[in-house]
Structure 1
Amino acid sequence: MDTSFITVDLIRAACQRLGYKFFEYGDYNLNIVGIRTDDDKANTFNDFITVSFKVEGEWRLYVFEATTDPGLYYRLNPMNVLGTAILAAGQHPGAFKLGKHRGLYPALVQAWPLPVHRDNDKDAELDTTGLVDEGWHGINMHHASACWVSKLVDKWSAGCQVLASKADLDFIVGLCRHSTTLYGNSFTYTLLDEQDLMHV
């Protein structure tokens, strides 16, 4: 997927326009920003997770293929009677901390109540217009297959933010570990819609 349009300046401008915090001071002060693209084809890793931060005054930006949406299986078979969870766009202060996904491997795990849309019409279309349910939903940031770069979301996400590649998640976790030594084990997560980047 083409990621050339994603820059630190673009992400920062979008955050500033929306009134969100963008961390510019201090080394390894991580801006973890998801981008939910306009491509709404179900079951694909068609979104991005970005991490931007400064090291000795110089910006670094990393962009990873991911999904910010639940896979088709859970759209058709919700785990919750209210419907499948879709993390609401916006800035979520202190959303994540380092932990283990389902107790199995290092990941970013939910650390604060988060708002999700409940999609309960059991079809392939993503519905972000219905009920908003704020609480502890187990919305983690983790990887899909540990053996290969995944192409289909399927059961890898019931609402989590999921990296297609294990190596990408491991890289993010490594950055977070370093960041915790400076700022503590708490990470803000900002989820933007692609259109947010188009109106800066």
Structure 2
Amino acid sequence: MQITYEQLQQIYNRKGYNFFDRGSYNLNIFGIRSDNPLVDEFNDFIGLAYRDVSRNKIVHLFNATTKPGLYWLKQKTGSVNGTAILIPGQYKSCWTLGFHKGYQALTQKAIGVFNIWRDNDMDGDLDTSGQVFSDVTGLNLHTTSFKNDVEKVGAYSAGCQVIQDDLDFNIFLAVVIKSSMIYGSVFSYTLFELNDF
């Protein structure tokens, strides 16, 4: 998938979302959820859109999942109410630069910043409707493994937004850290669906 900075900005504007464009490294962190019904695949994207120090418009897209893995959908639920599935939308000031399992990542800033569905039937399929919850904790943006190539989502996401490849994640994190030095360590996230494009 390819998308330009201008196209992305238009989609943000069309949906009434804030698009950050006031200076260099003013980040727009976003996800694009595919319409592919297969679970346990890295068939979504996580992206960054920003201007560099020369005001060039930059868009990065990384293979990712915005959905929980099969482990949490079939073997174990992340909560008594079910496994978290993030609802598409814009979530302002939802993440802060912190640590996930010992390495730097984006971590949930507070309870109540996200809206989710909960999948509780353990049939292995995504339940993307029903009651909306905001009780999720630990919904972070991180990667899979710094030691192994990972092909399946598995237990790596119980609702977290996960970049598949650690090298891609390192690129993502380097930009996030540069941004944090200018604007602070709190970040917003916007989750789109593929049909928004």
In which range does the TM-score fall when normalised by the shorter chain?
Answer: over 0.9
Match of 2:138 in 1: 138
Deviates more, 1:84-93 or 1:173-182: 173-182
Normalised by the size of structure 1, how large is the TM-score?
A: 0.92
3-state SS of the aligned residue for 1:182?
Answer: helix
In structure 1, what is the Cα distance between the partners aligned to 2:130 and 2:118?
Answer: 6
CA-CA distance at 1:115 after TM superposition: 1.3
2:66 is matched with: 68
In the alignment, which residue of structure 2 is the partner of 1:166? 166
Shift of 1:72: 0.4
Within-5 A mapping of 1:121-200: 121-197=121-197
Query: SS of the counterpart of 1:126?
Result: coil
7, 21, 26: which is aligned to 1:29? Answer: 26
Aligned to 1:7: 4
Q: Say what the alpha-carbon RMSD is for the aligned residues.
A: 1.2
Which of 56, 59, 67 pairs up with 1:58?
A: 56
- Percent of aligned positions that are identical: 39
| Structure 1 position 9, deviation (Å) | 2.2
Where 1:123 maps in the other structure, the secondary structure is: coil
Cα pair 2:116 2:136 within 8 Å, conserved: no
Partner of 2:82: 83
Question: Which amino acid letter does the alignment assign opposite residue 91 of structure 1?
Answer: Q
Q: Work out whether residues 100 and 108 of structure 1, in 8 Å CA contact, stay in contact via their aligned partners in 2.
A: yes
Structure 1 residues 72-116: Cα deviation after superposition (integer angstroms, max 9, x where no partner): 0100121211111001110000111110003x1111101132111
Deviation of 1:21 after TM superposition, in Å, equals 0.6
- 3-state DSSP class of the match of 2:26? coil
Which runs of 5 or more structure 1 residues have no equivalent in the other structure? none
Equivalent residue of 1:159, what SS?
A: coil
- CA deviations over 1:12-67 (Å, ceiling 9, x no partner): 11111110011122000011010001112010000000101012221011110000
Q: What TM-score does the superposition give when structure 2 sets the normalisation length?
A: 0.94
Residues 90 and 188 in structure 2, CA contact (< 8 A), matched pair in contact too: yes
1:50 counterpart letter in structure 2 = G
Give, in angstroms, the shift of residue 136 of structure 1: 4.1
Q: Note if contact 1:85-1:118 (Cα within 8 Å) is conserved in structure 2.
A: yes
For 2:48, the aligned partner's letter is V
Instruction: Give the structure 2 partner of residue 44 of structure 1.
Output: 41
* Counterpart-to-counterpart distance in 2, 1:131 and 1:187: 26
